[in-house]
Amino acid sequence: MKPDFVPQGSVEIPPIPVQDELLLDPGKTAIVVVDMQNDFVKPGGTLAVEDAAATVEHIAALLARARAAGVKIAYTQDTHYPGDREWEIWPAHCAAESWGWQIIDELAPAEGDLVCRKSRYDGFYDTWLDHYLTRIWQVENLIIVGTVASICVLHTAASAGLRWFHVVVPANGVSALTPFDQALTLRQVSWLYSGSVVRREDDIRFT
């Protein structure tokens, strides 16, 4: 392929291996819920993702089972202040303490869950997330759900993979701007980061 090639029209998607069932040790597993905030999920949100609402029930079901099994849960919360350079790329969004910045009510953190504010796409960049996952919780498996699949989810999954976490993504627990972006995310997780992709959140078992 020529280095200056820019694909037009349809693009062939390489195979994405999907596991029918995945067994995880709850004591060595954590969930990271990425940016399920009003600005990304709710009608009227500055950067609302059309497909994000459909993931809410699946994420909620996964969290309920995880909490019952003793799985640790962390949320990332995109957080910006006036003058943030990211607002030069995207419309102003997730301004600290605003309605759009708040995590949606349906997935509100429970007692004992952690909320990690971040200022860039990557949940690990300049945050304490790695400290808790590695040193405090000492987990090996990281289930990542949320939005936007090819942006904050994928950048967070990449950082997790580079830290040798076993990254797990349920396809119905992440939402993207386009089908291509969704496929890109699942392909990168399963291939480049040696992670696991399942179709549904209930394909994950805690044993």
| Residue 112 in tokens | 């004992």
In the chain, count of helices (H) and strands (E)? Answer: 5, 9
* List of domains in the chain: 24-206 (3.40.50.850)
Report pTM.
0.95
C-alpha 153/C-alpha 176 separation (Å) is 9
Amino acid at 152: C
Average pLDDT value for the chain: 96
8-57 pLDDT, tens digit each: 778 888 899 999 999 999 999 999 999 999 999 999 999 999 999 999 99
pLDDT tens readout for residues 132-175: 999 999 999 999 999 999 999 999 999 999 999 999 999 999 99
> Does 113 have pLDDT greater than 90?
yes
Calculate the CA 149 to chain-centre distance: 7
What is the pLDDT at residue 1? 57
Q: Is the dihedral of CA 202, 144, 13, 52 positive or negative?
A: positive
SS3 38: helix
Contacting residues for 124 by C-beta, under 8 A, at least 6 apart: 130, 156, 159, 160, 163
